[in-house]
Amino acid sequence: MADIRLQALFNQKSREFRTEGAGDRRFRLDFVAATNRATRRMNRDADLDSEIAVVDDVQATVTNLNTDYEDILSDGISLYLMHIGQRPAKGAEVDKSELETRFAAGITSMYFRLINDQQNADDSDEDYDIIGLGALG
Is 73 a member of any domain? Answer: yes
pLDDT at 137: 44
pLDDT in tens, 30-55: 999 999 999 999 999 988 878 898 99
**What residue type is 87 in one-letter code?**
R
Residue partners of 40: CB distance under 8 A and separation at least 6: 54
CB 81 within 8 A of CB 87: no
Is 136 a member of any domain? Answer: no
Is 35 a member of any domain? Answer: yes
pTM of the model: 0.82
pLDDT at 114: 82
Is 47 a member of any domain? Answer: yes
Is 97 a member of any domain? Answer: yes
Is 59 in a helix, a strand, or coil?
A: coil
Over residues 94-115, mean pLDDT: 92
Q: Which domain holds residue 31?
A: 4-128
Is 108 a member of any domain? Answer: yes
Is 30 a member of any domain? Answer: yes
**Structural domain count of the chain:** 1
